Amino acid sequence: MAGLRALVMPKMGLAMTEGMVAAWRKAPGEPVAAGEEVADIETSKITAGYESPAAGSLRRQVVKPGVMVPVGTLIGVIADGTADDAEIDAFIAAQHAAFVPAAEAASAPAPARVATEIGPIQVLEAGPEDAPPLVLIHGFGGDLNNWLFLQPLLAARFHTFAIDLPGHGGSTKTLPGGNFAALARAVAAFLRARGIGPAHLVGHSLGGAVALMLAPESLSLSLISPAGLGPEINMDYIGGFIAARRAREMQAVLAMLFADPALIGRDMVEGVLRYKRLDGVAAALQAIAAANFANGRQNTSLRATLAAIRVPTLVAWGEADRIIPAAHADALSPSVRVVRFPETGHMAHMERAADLARHIIGIADA
Amino acid sequence: MARKSFRQAVNEAIRQEMARDPRVIVMGEDIAGGMGAPGEDDAWGGPLGVTKGLMPQFGRERVLDTPITESGFIGAAAGAALTGLRPVADLMFVDFMGVCFDQIFNQAAKFKYMFGGKARTPLVIRTMYGAGFRAASQHSQCLYPLFTHVPGLKVVIPSSPYEAKGLMIEAIRDDDPVIFFEHKMLYDVEDEVPDEPYTLPFGEANLTREGDDATIVAFGRMVMLANEAADQLGAQGISCTVIDPRTTSPLDIETILEEVRATGRLVVVDEASPRCNMASDIAAQVAERAFEALKAPIRRVSPPHTPVPFSPALEDLYLPDVEKIISAVRAVMAAGGRKAA
């Protein structure tokens, strides 16, 4: 059965225990390239494309769309041309016989809180401890869970650290200051406390600006729709995120993040609302917005900083970004590698995780 | 974040507010327990252990065991609130509230109005309610409609551990008297509850399910049953919205009206006795303000108008359950109009 590959329900993020095929992108018998999306996988949090691990043809859709199955369940079979139906039936039977649902939560890595000079910082680590360090820094109102698709892909090559910025997630809600520099000092404090030397830095949006401030200490820099490269910022998003109290209001705000708002699930909205209800969060978000986006514009330009840095740098942007326009990636220094994703919004790390991971690994190797 | 029981969630909320604000005190019968008996400090932590651990942490000065005299200590709590403390008084079973109605209805609820808005009464009265505990007619009632009826009181009915913690912190920080209802059958229910303090605003309903065919409004423990009913109905092709109002005073009637206008069908699940309960109040308000949207008569799922029976078989029969909610939804689906396109 050399030519047979199992497609199994992927685990997208720590909390995921089950999911469903929202739709098959390939009909039975249709050819599939490695890395091509064969199905859309839906969880209560988000819907995302599922890339084929191998080239061949989709010989079987084992699971029908709309049926909830545990992580690891066989959902389809990819085969080269030589396998006959009997072989595939035997393969499916063997897969089913061998399947043991993963022990929930117990085996999942859990985030830890690291004491730093500016208060506790929450971090989720993944990947080999002897691999080069790579730090993931989320954007305004986000948290380490924003990296749920990208972090596992990067953890194959790097010792990854997804952190919560101060005022966010499980980190201290007391800010050392709201501007880029203060947040960068907080990340530096975390790196010192955790004993991480020069690292590959990956930052999104506000976290991109923070990463850029730390560039001199980094091995490489990957910035996804970063703040700081132009004056425009969608204040309907920033203001709406701070103001929204109910699920439907928040859903409408979060919809601005994605090229396809249908990707947002109920649990993502509820998770953001729960975060916003924590003591101190409203004040922290307002302080960050006031420090960086007063008068409805970004008031700190890091274009000169970017032009001056010497480490390999990637700037990635979704062409349909409605929060910070992709035009901010225009006319950057020729040493910066710029990648634009079509039909992608502000969340390329969620919307285009696999492509983006390849580019990040590429810049880290440059 | 960790899984915590409803009991732990309430305890953590009070503990964090006591640590944050020295004006917060706790008082009631046996809320620590063991007073005067050497080696027995903190023996009880309240009848079901909710306040256990508070006395050793904050001392007898702030965690007060009171005599068995509700009329006395509820009156004292109302007075303490007027002087600037923020008491959390434990009235054990809501069934006993009758002996201190004057302190609550005529005093605590009215101070702000009688004193021209100058008085603040930041009082929380915690109390257990609800049947299913085999505790018979004097320890099983759902008297939240009585308190909802009285202007000047806020009435809170959390449906889960997450809700319990956020609503308790909100209650303690609120400057008006709040009656906080805890269902005995929910204490061991577990849920993800953040370690950090957070608040849930009063008067904001929560949609625990979203659907197109019918709207179910439920309170307290009934929310869990309504969710289960909605999930079973969903598997049979009937999708329901479930609304947990979280508080009956203030009541988020706007969200209820909005959802009824979207689905055209309403079922209200209320464990309180059926006459003058929340289900009848909501049915009246919806009939008055959204009659044109209704495709079927409103259905109420409530117990019969009788004391809670002591016989376990009869108590089970008495209580609303998932089956009764499902048949009420089926009835509104069958009555009148078509299924929504």
Helix-helix angle B221-235:B322-334, to 10 degrees? 50
Nearest CA in chain B to A67: B235
Helix-helix angle B161-173:B6-20, to 10 degrees? 30
Cβ contact, residue pair A170, B200, below 8 Å: no
CATH 3.10.20.740 corresponds to the domain A4-98:
no
Query: How far does B292 lie from chain A, in Å, by closest CA?
Result: 24
Q: What confidence tens digit (pLDDT) does each residue in A228-279 have?
A: 999 999 999 999 999 999 999 999 999 999 999 888 888 899 999 999 999 9
Cβ contact, residue pair A245, B162, below 8 Å: no
Q: Look up residue B340 and give its DSSP letter.
A: P
- Catalytic residue list contains B149: no
Q: Which domains are seen in chain B, by residue range? A: 2-193 (3.40.50.970), 206-334 (3.40.50.920)
* pLDDT at B200 exceeding the cut of 70: yes
Report chain B residues whose CB lies below 8 A from the CB of A271: none
Q: What confidence tens digit (pLDDT) does each residue in A280-311 have?
A: 999 999 999 999 999 999 999 999 999 999 99
Cβ contact, residue pair A279, B199, below 8 Å: yes
* pLDDT at B249 exceeding the cut of 80: yes
Q: How far apart are CA A211 and CA A188, in angstroms?
A: 10
pLDDT for the residue numbered A105: 47
Confidence of residue A85 (pLDDT cuts 50, 70, 90): confident
> Which uninterrupted H or E stretch holds B222?
helix B221-235
Q: Look up residue A278 and give its DSSP letter.
A: B
Q: Do domains A4-98 and A112-365 have the same CATH topology?
A: no
Report chain A residues whose CB lies below 8 A from the CB of B198: 274, 277-279
Q: Can you give the residue ranges of every domain in chain A?
A: 4-98, 112-365
Q: How far apart are CA A316 and CA A224, in angstroms?
A: 5
Q: Which of B3, B21, B198, B231 to mutate to test the interface with A (most CBs of A within 10 A)?
A: B198
Strands across the sheet containing A68-70:
A47-51, A37-42, A18-24, A68-70
Confidence of residue A194 (pLDDT cuts 50, 70, 90): very high
Does residue B181 sit at the A interface (CB-CB below 8 Å)? no
Q: How far apart are CA A176 and CA A182, in angstroms?
A: 6
Q: What confidence tens digit (pLDDT) does each residue in B266-300 have?
A: 999 999 999 999 999 999 999 999 999 999 999 99
> Which uninterrupted H or E stretch holds B331?
helix B322-334
* pLDDT at A205 exceeding the cut of 80: yes
Q: Look-up: residue for tokens 């969880």? A: A43
Query: How far does A114 lie from chain B, in Å, by closest CA?
Result: 15
Cβ contact, residue pair B166, A277, below 8 Å: yes
Q: Are A69 and A19 in contact (CB under 8 A)?
A: yes
Q: What confidence tens digit (pLDDT) does each residue in B136-152 have?
A: 999 999 999 999 999 99
Q: What mean pLDDT is reported for chain A?
A: 92
Non-local (6+) Cβ contacts of A311 within 8 A are: A215, A218, A219, A220, A221
CATH of A112-365, one of 3.40.50.1820, 1.20.1050.10, 3.30.457.10, 3.60.15.10: 3.40.50.1820
Query: How far does B166 lie from chain A, in Å, by closest CA?
Result: 8
Amino acid symbol at A247 = A
Which has the closest alpha carbon to A343: A259, A267, A283, A266?
A: A259
Q: Measure Cα distances from A156 to A55, A152, A153, A358, A361 in Å.
A: 21, 7, 6, 12, 10
Report chain B residues whose CB lies below 8 A from the CB of A246: 204
Q: Measure Cα distances from B16 to B5, B9, B178, B252 in Å.
A: 16, 11, 18, 28
